[in-house]
Structure 1
Amino acid sequence: MKNTASNTIPKPLVTSNQWFILLSVVISLISGLYFILLLPLLAGIIGLLTGYNPVLKLAGKFLSKPYSSYPQEDKAQLQFNQTIAVSCLALSLIGFYAGITALGYIFSIMVAVASGVALLGFCVGCFIRFQWQQYQYRKHTAK
């Protein structure tokens, strides 16, 4: 991404990442090639650890306008969402390769549903984070 100091990410890049995750999971589940789940898992881990998400970087090459001219998404929220996705993808792979297929399906389907619903406009991770922040606020003010 060109503007790494920013606290936001252009919406088209976020949408590209959501499609990448959804398609990877769906292709993996349909084909039975569970190693495909490594693609979004590794991209997510790299993004969380280094701030460089290869999917966002690639998608950024297709943007025709400056990043700031697109609607923006909060980077902290997206990192929270990515942490959830990475955790679920890791648990899914562990399930598939440890012979606990139900675990693999449960966590991979959760990721697919969350990314699909996000593409439709509702962010599950945003809802979870908001509820967590509300809980922390109530806990703090109750003292």
Structure 2
Amino acid sequence: MEEQAKQEIPIAKMRSNQIGIVITLVIAIVLDIQWLIAVLWLIQVMTLLLGPGANVFVTLLEPLAKSIYGTKQTEAKELAKFNLSLGFTFLTLSLICISLQWKTAAYIIAGMMGLAALAALLGYCIGCTIYFQYKKYKALRNSAR
């Protein structure tokens, strides 16, 4: 049981990060503050490297997320890391677009990440669906060999 607990992340930590992502991206896109995307990218990189404790959104918003989503639910650490990696990829692509002065493309890509985070907050995890399909494809490919 203790080993399983190490492989799980409290859902409130995940949701607090998603709340922070949605708020930050809405502000960045609506107010045209491109550097906020870079700040968000840095927060996600720190989370990937150091874990949820390094995420400022978790620090600030976890009490709110606990009151909304409770304290008992967890998410698999592997799935959380996959979702975080997807977010990192979208933010990286957005920053590349910003550096090329493709602002519309940058905001569309960042907006897609924001919509995925919003969908997760509302109960549908797009990253989880992608992860499941990827695992299914990998299993079918391995069984065909």
Deviation at 1:76, TM superposition (A): 1.0
Query: Which of 93, 98, 110 is residue 100 of structure 2 equivalent to?
Result: 98
Whether the 8 Å contact between 1:35 and 1:93 is mirrored in structure 2 is no
For residues 78 and 133 of structure 1, the distance between their equivalents in structure 2, rounded to whole angstroms, comes to 15
Q: TM-score, normalised by structure 1?
A: 0.85
5+ residue gaps, structure 1, are: none
Q: Could you tell me which residue of structure 2 aligns to residue 127 of structure 1?
A: 129
Equivalent residues, number:
137
Whether the 8 Å contact between 2:16 and 2:64 is mirrored in structure 1 is no
Q: Could you tell me which residue of structure 2 aligns to residue 86 of structure 1?
A: 88
Deviation at 1:73, TM superposition (A): 1.1
Deviation at 1:63, TM superposition (A): 8.1
Q: What amino acid is the match of 1:96?
A: I
After the TM superposition, list the runs of 4 or more consecutive aligned residues in structure 1 that deviate by more than 6 angstroms. Answer: 61-64
For residues 63 and 126 of structure 1, the distance between their equivalents in structure 2, rounded to whole angstroms, comes to 20
Are positions 1:72 and 2:79 aligned together? Answer: no
Q: TM-score, normalised by structure 2?
A: 0.84
Compute the RMSD of aligned alpha carbons: 2.2
For residues 64 and 122 of structure 2, the distance between their equivalents in structure 1, rounded to whole angstroms, comes to 22
Deviation at 1:35, TM superposition (A): 0.6
Q: Sequence identity, in percent?
A: 30
Query: Which of 107, 110, 120 is residue 108 of structure 1 equivalent to?
Result: 110
Q: Could you tell me which residue of structure 2 aligns to residue 28 of structure 1?
A: 28
Match of 1:73, SS state, is: strand
Whether the 8 Å contact between 1:24 and 1:39 is mirrored in structure 2 is no
Whether the 8 Å contact between 2:16 and 2:65 is mirrored in structure 1 is no
Match of 2:40, SS state, is: helix
Shift of the 26–105 alpha-carbon distance from structure 1 to 2, 3 Å rule, reads same
Match of 1:104, SS state, is: helix
**Quick check: which one's helix share is greater?**
2
5+ residue gaps, structure 2, are: none
Deviations 1:10-34 (A, max 9, x none): 1112111101001111100011011
Are positions 1:44 and 2:44 aligned together? Answer: yes
Are positions 1:16 and 2:16 aligned together? Answer: yes
For residues 23 and 89 of structure 1, the distance between their equivalents in structure 2, rounded to whole angstroms, comes to 15
Whether the 8 Å contact between 2:91 and 2:110 is mirrored in structure 1 is yes
